[in-house]
């Protein structure tokens, strides 16, 4: 098993990426709102005369989405990357995002076997 993690730069692509991951076989994605240090520094250095109203009053939060999912195989992880690049383009371009996979040694709280259908109700 692997932990698939993505920091998605353009949050407007979130729903399409989630649908692509689901089609690739990824089950159960956790999504967090996140902000990188570069965006925090740019926001704190902005001059008031160049800010929009939402930024001046604190609601102009510009950030990322960070996606987490445990996947059964590297093949599923690679299929999710392919699906993502089909939506947002080559991840090697700036301002797209980053995806990486980490080995998972043990899990607690996942149904056994992990490949079961999560759409069915739990008993």
Asked if 13 contacts 87 with a C-beta cutoff of 8 angstroms, the reply is yes
Neighbours of 34 (CB within 10 A): 14
For residue range 40-90, what is the model confidence (pLDDT) as tens digits? 666 555 555 555 544 444 445 568 999 999 999 999 999 999 999 999 999
The verdict on residue 84 lying in a domain is yes
Domain that holds residue 16: 2-34+63-103
* Count of structural domains, the chain: 1
The verdict on residue 116 lying in a domain is no
The verdict on residue 52 lying in a domain is no
pLDDT of 93 reads 95
Structure tokens that stand for 100 in this block:
């990486």
For residue range 16-28, what is the model confidence (pLDDT) as tens digits? 999 999 999 999 9
Q: What angle do CA 19, 62, 15 make, to 5 degrees?
A: 10
The verdict on residue 56 lying in a domain is no
The verdict on residue 97 lying in a domain is yes
Structure tokens that stand for 15 in this block:
């729903």
Asked if 71 contacts 4 with a C-beta cutoff of 8 angstroms, the reply is yes
* CATH number assigned to the domain comprising residue 84: 3.30.70.120
């Amino acid at each position: 098993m692997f932990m698939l993690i993505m920091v998605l730069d353009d949050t407007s692509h979130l729903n399409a990426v989630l649908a692509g991951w689901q089609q690739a076989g990824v089950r159960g994605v956790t999504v967090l709102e996140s902000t990188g240090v570069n965006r925090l520094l740019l926001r704190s250095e902005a001059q008031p005369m160049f800010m929009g109203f939402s930024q001046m009053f604190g609601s102009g939060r510009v950030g990322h989405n960070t996606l987490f999912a445990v996947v059964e195989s590297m093949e599923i992880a690679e299929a999710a990357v392919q699906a993502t690049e089909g939506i947002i383009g080559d991840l090697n371009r700036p301002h797209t995002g980053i995806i990486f996979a980490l080995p998972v040694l043990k899990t607690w709280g996942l149904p056994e076997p992990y490949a079961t259908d999560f759409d069915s109700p739990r008993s």
